[in-house]
A and B are shown apart, each in its own frame.
Chain A
Amino acid sequence: MPEKNAVEMRGVTKRYPRVLACDGVDLSIRQGEIHAIIGENGAGKSTLMKILYGMVRPDEGSITLNGKSLTGHSASDSIRLGLGMVHQHFMLIDPFTVAENVVLGIEPVRAGLFIDGRTARERVERLSSEYGLALAPDERIENLSVGLEQRAEIVKVLYRGADILILDEPTGVLTPQEVTELFVVLRALRESGRTIIFITHKLNEVIELADRVTVMRDGRVTGVVSAAETTPAELARMMVGRDVLLRVERREATPGEAVLVVNKLSAVGRKGTHVLDHVSLKIRSGEILGIAGVHGNGQTELVDAITGLHATSSGNVTLSGTDITNLRPRTIRDLGVAHVPEDRLERGLVPEFTVAENLLLGHHHRAGYSKRGLIDVAKMEEHARELIVEHDLRPADSSISASHLSGGNQQKLIVAREFDGAPALLIASQPTRGVDIGAIEFVHTNILKMRDAGAAVLLVSAELSEIMTLSDRIAVMYGGRIVQEFEGGTVSEEELGRYMTGAAGAEAAVEAEGTAEATGAAGGTA
């Protein structure tokens, strides 16, 4: 091995009262490489990185960072030794400028009292241009796109002198274009001699970007491979421990009658902006309409407007001919609309409730579960037992609180609940966000099953591969409008990406009303 190792972890073990989070993990990161660490939720990646960063103390094992052996180090020690972490959730202060955020905590000071704004700006500018980050130092964070916010985080870490960067799931929040741009930045950083540790669960990115890959499962390293010599299938097998269907089998759709018809629907957001602008779409039974779009372009409001959670200002929504515009959420649910919400912890679950209670959420008032104002506890338990078995929820215990389930099982719980009772319309919003490959396979298979059983499915996802795998038709949302619609399988990721960022949708946006009409009509005849 000619290269020096930037990070050397040997036999690192971390025991928690009931769980072995890291079990004799060896990790070698070479100087100047992009090293991906992959594994399912709970595989120990995060714990391992926290140990490296000095946030968690290991029970056993040795750590060497840039040639220095570390014992009982703290995060500030590792920062001093050149380690920097770009967190998955950005740690930025929104009303502050980029420069202010970058220097926060170690501000250059003038006359011992005042922050030297000019020096701060200059340094940010220099770092930004060096790596092609295109960051304006005086822009406020709140005005930046997610991709630029992430760059501000990267600059923050570089400003602190990091030559080893840990990026925790950095692409989860980005558009395909932003991902491409991020990769350019990361390669530039590698060229400058920096080392990058890249935590992810997206196998294609690993193959595209990384030099080497460490795969973890159940707290152990199950493989270290060169990215050039592996395949997604092999990586998935090492991660899960069995063969995984990375792409579910899908039969041709056999659409029936129109179930959901959205006609020129508009809605106003909290700040008085038009979050939905004459949106029209139509979904027939037995087909999946996928909505692609960068988060924040009206998808959330569209789903909320259909389900009665967001008031609309004009236009209407009909479900199998019944006008459901602005009805109460309960009425809409009772008419056969099921909804897997985009944020399972914020909306989909009451974390403190037991699994059984959560499986009843939204159905709790219905006959069979509720009699004269009383919950039928026996029925609730029976219902829970059935769904737990049917959907292989683990642990198979209806009495524990949902907060104790893993993310994947929380999602399975929501899917189990919402898919129950043959809904006419199924709305699945980010149905696989943050869940394991195994659970993704499960969710995708079930969405297709629902479609084949005759449900109309509205799929909203930031995950383009998900949209492309499952959808019979694809609509792209940008700026609160549907800017384009495609037949499934007739469009490339890049093309979708261009519409998602508004680049290709410019002409569509000009023909404001006309497009909405046309899209509606196209949806009708498709």
Chain B
Amino acid sequence: MSLPGASGTTTPAVETVETAGTGRIVSLLAPLVAVLAAFLVGGLVVAAIGESPLEFYSILFRGAFGSVDGVGLVLFNATPLIFAGLAVAFAFRSGLFNIGGEGQLYIGSFVCAWMALQMPAAPAVLLIPLLILASAAGGALWAAIPGYLKARFGVHEVINTIMMNFIAVALTSYLVVEIFKEPGQMTPQTAVIPMAGELPRLAGFFQTIGVPLPNANPLNASFLIALVAVWLAWFILQRTTLGYEIRAVGHNMSAAEYAGINVRRTLVMAMLLSGSFAGLVATNEVMGFRHRFLDNFSSGVGFMGIAVALLGRNSPVGVLFAALLFGVLNTGALEVDIFTEVPRELILVVQAVTIILVVVGNEIVRRRLARGRAMGCPSKEGAEAS
């Protein structure tokens, strides 16, 4: 017997698009939900050690948002994380996992300081752009080595970038202790770079527009460079032929090869650019804040970049927001340390919990979507058949 099917069924293809649309919203919400869940778990931990979670969070947010100075510190703390996050995210778009941000930012910073010390008489208009380029070039160089090894010999970039981290830390340490140490000082650091190479602090600017950012606030023009870098990363990925090729390689290497894209060259280029972003951390650390290279200055900024990129779902704008969140947590941690019995390490716990929940949350969302697509979308059988 046959069932006469009444006409008027929905057009499946159109429905699928809507599913995709809601999927996008869900995937944007996922990090937010994860962050809230992380705060909840963090609160439980605070309660477990006998402190008030409410007080903990109110002090934390007061530290970050309670004053103009606090907000300035948030932006300052976020700046290196933006660069480090962009480095990881950018490489990831080509399918490479750049764990070497830490090493790349050390080399970038050292090259920046060294270059500045070589040109004591250069004017700012020349020196500042030059130092920015030097920072990027230093990071690029350090990333290009594992990039080349990956492209040429297929050696896994994770191992090589980690190894390059050790080398970078040791190398810069050797250079700054043995060769370039500031004369007559015990601290392993270079001499102060020329004034012309310093990036201006933003306090003065904010004061002229009526925002009372104190002169002591370390927020400097490097933050603006970071914003430009976010735009640049987006622009390269979405608007240039190279970015198109980087994304194609990252998503589907055999399709990229099929389309005539030089995969090896693209991988090396992606690593070069990724390293450049990491190297730009120097604009904040060397040009904007310390005005010299200090041995071992980075407390794992390069590694935090991995978390930032993850939380930001490897999109430049996502990285910006993720870095700001970590900036809030870092800034608030200081206040928590001063005003409560809660150890500031707890902030690290909250950060770590956030990352874990985001990873898990992403996975849940992804599976949800995949399942919805598999079952709800008419392309399933076609996909299976191919």
Q: Which positions in A face B, CB cutoff 8 Å?
A: 16-21, 23-26, 41-43, 45-47, 56, 88-89, 169, 172, 217-225, 307, 309, 328-334, 339, 341, 343-353, 357, 360-362, 364-365, 370, 373-375, 377, 394-395, 397, 400-401, 403-410, 433-436
Contact = CB atoms under 8 A, between A and B. Distances in A.
Nearest to A21: B375
Contacts of B372: 16-17
A225 B1 CA distance: 8
A328 B10 contact: no
Please indicate which of the listed interface residues B16, B260, B383 has the most CB atoms of chain A within 10 Å of its own CB: B260
Please indicate which of the listed interface residues B18, B244, B254, B377 has the most CB atoms of chain A within 10 Å of its own CB: B244
Contacts of A18: 10, 15-16, 18-19, 376
Contacts of B19: 17-18, 404
What 10 A-B pairs have minimum CB-CB distances, sorted nearest first? A407-B382, A42-B378, A434-B385, A330-B260, A16-B376, A18-B15, A220-B5, A362-B259, A406-B379, A41-B382
A291 B260 CA distance: 24
A505 to B, nearest CB: 29
Nearest to A399: B17
Given A18-B19, A353-B251, 13 more contacts: A17-B376, A18-B18, A19-B10, A26-B3, A330-B262, A334-B260, A346-B255, A350-B247, A361-B248, A373-B242, A406-B382, A409-B13, A435-B385
Given A221-B5, A407-B386, A21 B376 contact: yes
Given A222-B2, A351-B252, A375-B241, A345 B258 contact: no
B15 A350 contact: no
B375 to A, nearest CB: 5
B240 A373 contact: yes
Contacts of A433: 385-386
B261 interface: yes
B2 A223 contact: yes
A403 B20 CA distance: 10
Nearest to B20: A404
B12 interface: yes
A307 B255 CA distance: 13
B120 to A, nearest CB: 37
Interface string B102-119: 000000000000000000
21 contacts: A18-B376, A20-B10, A23-B9, A41-B378, A41-B385, A43-B381, A46-B381, A89-B384, A217-B5, A219-B9, A222-B5, A330-B260, A331-B260, A334-B260, A347-B254, A350-B251, A351-B251, A353-B251, A394-B13, A406-B379, A407-B383
Interface residues of B, number: 49
Nearest to A371: B241
B373 interface: yes
B16 A88 contact: no
A223 B3 CA distance: 6
A126 to B, nearest CB: 33
Nearest to B241: A370
B380 interface: yes
Nearest to A348: B255
B382 A47 contact: no
Given A339-B258, A395-B13, A16 B375 contact: yes
B244 A375 contact: yes
A298 B226 CA distance: 52
Interface string B20-34: 100000000000000
A357 B385 CA distance: 24
Contact of B255 (A330, A361, A375, A405): A361
Nearest to A26: B3
Nearest to A40: B381
A197 B65 CA distance: 66
A361 B376 contact: no
Contact of A19 (B5, B241, B257, B377): B377
Contacts of B385: 41, 88, 169, 172, 407, 433-435
A309 B259 contact: no
Nearest to A370: B241
A223 B254 CA distance: 42
A16 B376 CA distance: 5
A361 B259 contact: yes
Nearest to A216: B5
B239 interface: yes
Contacts of A370: 241
Contacts of B384: 46, 88-89, 434
B258 to A, nearest CB: 4
B126 interface: no
A346 to B, nearest CB: 6
Given A169-B385, A350-B255, A42 B380 contact: yes
Please indicate which of the listed interface residues B15, B241, B382 has the most CB atoms of chain A within 10 Å of its own CB: B382
Please indicate which of the listed interface residues B2, B244, B259, B373 has the most CB atoms of chain A within 10 Å of its own CB: B259
Contacts of A361: 248, 255, 259
A408 B14 CA distance: 15
Interface in B236-294: 239-245, 247-248, 251-252, 254-262
B386 A395 contact: no
B255 to A, nearest CB: 5
Contacts of B251: 350-353
A374 B1 CA distance: 61
B247 A221 contact: no
Contact of B375 (A26, A47, A333): A47
Nearest to B249: A350
Nearest to A18: B15
A396 B10 CA distance: 16
Please indicate which of the listed interface residues A400, A401, A405, A410 has the most CB atoms of chain B within 10 Å of its own CB: A405
